[in-house]
Amino acid sequence: MKGSIGGFTLGTVIAVALSWGANKSILWAIIHGFLSWIYVIYYLLMK
């Protein structure tokens, strides 16, 4: 799959970074990483 490095896509990396910045929680960062672009869009809409 193009755009993925070791199973991580750009959406996953962005979601984890946003989640960590907002919550400072590894658990939430992992959960939001699985949700990927869904969480990124949610974060941008609810910010």
| 29 found inside a domain | yes
Whether residue 26 lies inside any domain: the answer is: yes
Q: What is the DSSP letter of 9?
A: -
Q: How many domains does the chain have?
A: 1
For residue 19, give its domain range. Answer: 10-46
Q: What's the predicted TM-score (pTM) here? A: 0.76
Within a domain: residue 5? no
> Tokens standing for 4?
């993925």
Residue 1 has pLDDT above 70, yes or no: no
Please report whether residue 2 resides in a domain. no
Residue 45 has pLDDT above 90, yes or no: yes
- Overall average pLDDT of the 20-45 stretch: 93
Angle at CA 12, nearest 5°, toward 31 and 41?
A: 85
State residue 47's pLDDT score.
81
pLDDT digits (tens, 9 = 90+) for 2-31: 555 566 788 999 999 999 999 999 999 999
